[in-house]
Amino acid sequence: MTVQTVKLGRERFVLLREKDYRQLKAKANGAKARGAKPASKRRRLTALDRGDIAEAKRRENEPARPYSELRKELGLA
C-alpha cells in the first residue's frame, strides 16, 4: 500500500489508492459487524412486554371520558 502525506496549512492529509481505501473500509466494516451489536437489532419481547402491548390495544378501543366529567366525579371541580 503506497501512502503519501500532504500538508495543507496546519492539517496533514493521507493520500492512498482507491483500491487500498476500499480494502480498509471492508476490513473495518467486517470488524464492526463481528464486534458490536447493530443499533437496529431488536430484542426479543418477554411475556410481560407482550401482555403490556395486548393491554394497550384493548384500552385503545375503550371510550374516553372527558377530563371535566372525571373531575366532577372525583369532587375536584
pLDDT digit string (tens) for 14-53?
999 999 989 989 888 876 666 555 555 677 889 999 999 9
Q: Does any domain span residue 27?
A: yes
Note whether residue 9 is domain-resident: yes
For the chain, what is the domain count?
1
Determine, yes or no, domain membership for 3. Answer: yes
Q: Is the pTM of this model over 0.85?
A: no
| Gap between the Cα atoms of 51 and 8, Å rounded | 61
Is residue 12 included in any domain, yes or no? yes
| Residue 20, domain extent | 1-35
CA-based R_g, the chain, Å: 29
Quick check: is 21 in a domain? yes
Q: Is residue 10, in this structure, part of any structural domain at all?
A: yes
Among 52, 1, 6, which residue's Cα sits nearest to residue 27?
A: 1
Mean pLDDT score, 7-18: 91
Report the alpha-carbon distance of residue 59 to residue 75 in Å, rounded. Answer: 25
Domain assignment present for 28: yes
Residue 24 in any domain: the answer is yes
Q: Give 65's pLDDT tier (boundaries 50, 70, 90).
A: confident
